[in-house]
Chain A
Amino acid sequence: MIFSTPSLEYGALSPMLIILGAAVLAVIVEAFVSPRLRPSVQLALSIGAVLFALGQVVRLRGTETLTAANNSVIIDGPVLFMQGTILVFALLGLFLIADFEQFAAQASAIPGSAEEKSAIQTGKVQTEIYPLTLFAVAGMMLFPAASDLITLFVALEVLSLPLYLMAGLARGRRLLSQEAALKYFLLGAYSSAFFLFGSAFLYGYAGTVQLAGIANAISGAAGNDIFFLIGLGALSVGLLFKVGAVPFHAWTPDVYQGAPTAVTAFMAAATKVAAFGATLRIFYTAVSGAEWSWRPLITGIAIITMVVGSVIAIAQRDVKRLLAYSSIAHAGFLLTGVLALNQSGLAASLFYLATYGITTLGAFALVSLVRDSAGEVTDLNRWVGLAKRSPVIASIFALFLLSFAGIPLTAGFIGKFTIFSAAYENGNIGVVVVGVLSSAIAAFFYIRVIVMMFLTDPEDDSVTVSIPSRFTSSVIWIAAIATLALGIFPTPILDVISSLATFIR
């Protein structure tokens, strides 16, 4: 047997390699650096790696290759944009993670045990979160870039496994957090199995795991359609789980609520980019020839996702659960971008993902500031009258909510407008009308929060808005400025996106 050395395009792969390398390095740091120095070393290492990788992404702009890493990775415009977006979100996420108060002192200790108490007393801090984050980021960057089903699956696992752990690290309400982690893990494992099952069937259909090969098999109409349908169906379940579409959304509210807020922020923003990146690539390139087979289904899922997400959100009394259901509704809006199946649909999706992510990061960062003596306060009834206590924070949160609701002059509006018009262009008028109407429903609960903060008198005074650390406040301000700037003057970023938004196949 002859082994040939695999040829790796180090240049094109460098952003991912840097992050993976830094993750491995971070594990070593975890083992050898003294606990006292560890937090700052880890933070510097992670931020440095993310910035370095971001620089590489910028350097790589315009690069296109179908065959990186032995035909398993594609680098093209959309991939680079998504990798850049994920890295920016990772950077902001790391800023939030740097506030250690949110994390369990020792995750392995049983809640309430003596071990936990001693960990708290000795002032232990968790730094495993950094390598975990970096691994997740690497997986997220690979996910939209994968050009075959195996790589796709590997990327899916690399991004998911650290997230399962990270969801369980909350300091307060540890049981809730661990429950969320377990739920996320079990459902995630289940959906991974679906994904793998679907991949096997698609392999049976096309005789290859390459996305391009699947596209060829569809245009050649050579394979067994039953295999294809089962394969695509099961694969879609895996993807739709990750994007949080109904009926695969059940994990979202629990995980968003249970996970430490910094993790929720990072996860909500970055996972959506990665998952939609892969979804877009598969539906736009691999199976676009078999549009007849999936369009009705995805249309239906988009519609119920928008409606269910918006309607259930009305009944939420917890701000993190509210944002979770709102993220479900937004997944529905993003699915209309998948349905658009044209260049403007892809461009609109990229813009939407970027703006939604940044606003989400800001919103969760802000949630982490509203506290009482026991920790974060996420019960909306206790947010009443927040504007009296902290007008600036309340105004910024209102801005984020208005952007989620798609009110003009915010980024969310431009996103919604572009994505709906792309879907309309391809004749999905029904979806657009449902989308617009569910935006109206969604507006109701966003506005209810604004009413609570601004127009209602506070009942209890135990809730305070803590002074944000420099890291957290920079995230909030960056998000607020981006939300406003991208709503008023989106041209630069729209131009960048439209010059990039073509998948090579």
Chain B
Amino acid sequence: MAILGKQRKEDWEVVYEGAVGLIELYEEDPESKGMNAIIKGFRKFTEMLFAAEDEGRPIVWHNCGCSPELIRGLEGVQPMPIEVLTVLQDLIGDANYTLAVIDEAEGHGMAPEVCSIDKAAIGIVLKGLYPEQACGLYHNTPCDSQIAAIKALTELTNKPMRMMDVPYLSGDREIRYLAKQFREAIPFLEEHTKRKFSWEKFRQVCEESNRTAEYLRDWNELRKHIPCPQVSKIVALNTALLVAFSGDPEGTVIAKAFRDEAKERIGRGESAVVGGELYRAVWYQDPIWWDLQFYDWMESELKLVIPMDLFGYYAAEALIDTSTPESMLEGLARKSLRVMPMSRQFKGPIDYFIDDYLRLCVDYQADFGIFAGHVACKHGLGGIGLFREASREAGIPLLYFEFDMFDPRVTPAETIQENIAHFIEDVVKPRKEAA
């Protein structure tokens, strides 16, 4: 299937075909409003990316720590997260694809312990699959692995890049520090994209970003409902929504669809789990992106629902004050520090990370927590002992296992399923019965 009427590299065609196929599938189901919207969003993102390339408009690469609003402030410039093809292949294309690009990167000398998404990005660039960038705008979060990967990408593409120094803490002083760097990045972006930055365009982008955040805030509240009205896997897509669609009208369309679907299903008294939910868990750390059906399995086999995960619950803190240029830069800095997935959790003291988890467990009335430890994430896994202590003190059982969010070779689905099933049988079920 040709994207925008033109044949593209096969890897992208697979993604596009996957999106089109899934849209057809979900469109037949009027209750799949949320899933349908995000898959349409993925298709549109692919179209926008190639439209920019075809029209000769500049493309600016960025990483998942960097929310793209500032880039969108330049007329006609298309932002592209460096993780995009990996994520799209995992979610709607061929999940085995990621393994091939990881192997490609390792074959070129990337250390095996580097995060799989970063290795995959390197593999993709080595294969020459990304549209050419005018320049790169990055944050030095969420992790060291990503910083190493960005340096490698810069060397491989020989294009200029600017790295924002994201501080350890997230207070007002740190917000001002990051906002100042955003201001300094504007001339850099203008120079390399040959496009003018417009404060009015930036304001419109921030307002769009706020509309998305407001829908997500409402959606977060609706998912507290018991039984949880919507499928668990939709929560795993939050990260993709924030990274790829912040400031894009498509993001608002997706967030509204999430909200509307949850609201309508609550109105109809519907549960995500056919036959009724028995268990609720907060999913902490990274989602299983190589098999979204894993979430369906939890619902059908264990009657377990995930009302919320680590990366989705902070939308209300993402609102940007659009009254002045300075307030917008500071608002974007606040969002970068306090909201962007992984940046919020992994850059500062572990206490925030643990406090968020305990708050989520209480707010969503979780029977237990699932700490899905992505093996390369030393920032997250380094705190597991403290996590266990805090969970125990709070009386919330915590299941911990290691896996890789992009590489099922590390821990296969069957092993994870066994872990979760045993934990429910041995820990969660007896506690619920005793209560």
A-B interaction: no
A residues near B (Cβ < 8 Å) are: none
B residues near A (Cβ < 8 Å) are: none
